[in-house]
Amino acid sequence: MSTEALVKPHIGTITIRRHAQEDPAWVRWGLTLFALAVVGLLVVVPVVNIFATALSDGLRTYWDNLFTDPDTRQSIFLTLTVVPIALVANIIFGLTAAWAIARFNFPGRTLLTALIDLPFSVSPVVAGLMFVLIFGLQGYLGPFLRRDGYSIMPYLVSILGVGAFIVFFLLSRPSNPLARNGLWKQGWLFVLLGSGLVFGLLLFVQLYFHVWPRNQSLKIIFATPGLVLATAFVTFPFVARELIPVMEAVGADEELAAVSLGANGWQMFWHVTVPNIKWGLVYGIILCNARAVGEFGAVYVVSGHIAGKTDTMPLRIEKLFQEYNLPGSFAVASLLTLLAIFTLIAKARLQRKIPTTANLPEPTQSESQS
């Protein structure tokens, strides 16, 4: 770099190249234009076209296409049912998996990390077929589910109840062994007796009051449960994937500090862990949500495509398109596109707030003391 360039970067209209290693102008312009052209052709034009076609018959038709057609209305409603359930399941799973992987060293940790990514690498259609193979009529559990599917529900609910009881026991027990008196002293006996009691009571209530229908088939494939399973499977990695690096970057020291200051597990989680990971969690949820709403392949296989019953929004778009109802199809598509645009904006805004190893506030080393 010449001294002159330092002082006067511009002489007249001639721009002096400021870096010796800077690429020639035609390379810079060529690459930029090429990238812009590709994005314009493949992204901007189609997106604009979606809205143009959706609104081609006027706002009135657009509205009718979305909300007066009962099948379309049902598909929106179904998506709004399936996605939140899948999201909640994935948030719970993502938090536990990220916690386990970032905080503990256990055998099979690498395997778990790899398995979390599995849904990314499996084709959604294959994922859908997997569930058909397990729960479908010809599947492993098919005959049983068809004959008397609900008979398993009382047991499932009772086992969940026992799980909740054990978690509650561990959370409410005094952590100091000396402070445990009376029943707390016989911890394992208490858990054993309590679990038996909870299990028996729940089972009795459900069987006695006939909570679940008898001798009826429990539909999973070609019904909402199948849609939830398929959606949850496909979007399974998002929350965990976002949280693991955040939790690793934040480290366990603040959590340990909270514990040494007297916080219990619950307080540590809500006072320290959640504030530290919340933006990463929100980011993961938004990505997970975008993917869940738009999921087509896996849902296509398990839904059976029953109009007004098991059609989610993407399936409905395809069906309308097959019926040559372009404004209708594009109207639904425009909703998904709006969600995508919202997701993009949220993503750009959130990314800056997530702690990574690079942007953690480091102590200023060279400052003098007050």
Partner 1 sequence: MSILIKGVSKNFGSFKALDNVSLEVPDGDLLALLGPSGSGKTTLLRIIAGLEVADTGTVLYQDEDVTHHSARDRKVGFVFQHYALFRHMTVAENIGYGLKVRKTPKAQIRDRVDELLKLIRLDGFGNRYPSQLSGGQRQRVALARALAAQPRVLLLDEPFGALDAKVRQELRQWLRRLHEDIHVTSIFVTHDQEEAFEVANTVVVMNEGKIEQTGSPDEVYHYPATPFVYRFLGNVNLFHGRIDDGRAHIHEKETGHVVYVRPHLLDIDRIPNGGDHFRARVRHINSAGALVKVEAITEWGALVNVEISQDRFRTLQLIKDETVFVIPKDVKIFNDSNKKLAS
* Chain contacts with partner 1 (rule: CB under 8 A): 175-179, 251, 253-254, 256-264, 267, 271-272, 275-276, 361, 363-370
| Angle between the N-to-C axes of helices 274-294 and 70-103, in degrees from 0 to 180, rounded to the nearest 10 | 140
Cβ proximity to partner 1: between 31 and 256 the closer is 256
Cβ proximity to partner 1: between 215 and 369 the closer is 369
Cβ proximity to partner 1: between 18 and 185 the closer is 185
Cβ proximity to partner 1: between 49 and 264 the closer is 264
- Taking the complex as a whole, the smallest distance from the CB of residue 116 to partner 1 amounts, in Å, to 25
Q: Is the dihedral of CA 142, 117, 89, 224 positive or negative?
A: negative
Cα(110)–Cα(117) distance, integer angstroms: 11
> DSSP letter at 10?
E
Beta bridge partners of 15: 10
Cβ proximity to partner 1: between 35 and 360 the closer is 360
Beta bridge partners of 11: 14
- Taking the complex as a whole, the smallest distance from the CB of residue 134 to partner 1 amounts, in Å, to 39
Q: Is-contact 280 240, C-beta < 8 A? A: no
Cβ proximity to partner 1: between 172 and 264 the closer is 264
CA Rg, the chain, in Å?
28
- Taking the complex as a whole, the smallest distance from the CB of residue 193 to partner 1 amounts, in Å, to 24
171: tokens are 């959370």
- Taking the complex as a whole, the smallest distance from the CB of residue 208 to partner 1 amounts, in Å, to 42
- Taking the complex as a whole, the smallest distance from the CB of residue 277 to partner 1 amounts, in Å, to 11
The angle at the Cα of 145, spanning 139 to 149, to the nearest 5 degrees, equals: 165
Cβ proximity to partner 1: between 198 and 272 the closer is 272
User: For the residues of 243-307, what is the DSSP string, one character each?
Assistant: HHHHHHHH-SHHHHHHHHTT--HHHHIIIIIHHHHHHHHHHHHHHHHHHHHH--HHHHHHHTT-T
Cβ proximity to partner 1: between 175 and 356 the closer is 175
User: For the residues of 81-108, what is the DSSP string, one character each?
Assistant: HHHHHHHHHHHHHHHHHHHHHHH---TT
Cβ proximity to partner 1: between 268 and 285 the closer is 268
Cα(155)–Cα(158) distance, integer angstroms: 5
> Residue 194 contacts by C-beta under 8 Å, 6 or more apart in sequence?
165, 169
Cβ proximity to partner 1: between 271 and 309 the closer is 271
DSSP H helices, the chain, are: 3-7, 25-39, 45-54, 58-67, 70-103, 109-116, 118-121, 124-135, 142-148, 153-172, 187-208, 224-235, 237-250, 253-260, 265-268, 274-294, 297-303, 313-322, 326-351
- Taking the complex as a whole, the smallest distance from the CB of residue 273 to partner 1 amounts, in Å, to 11
- Taking the complex as a whole, the smallest distance from the CB of residue 250 to partner 1 amounts, in Å, to 9
- Taking the complex as a whole, the smallest distance from the CB of residue 94 to partner 1 amounts, in Å, to 21
> How many Cβ atoms are within 10 Å of 138's Cβ, its own excluded?
8
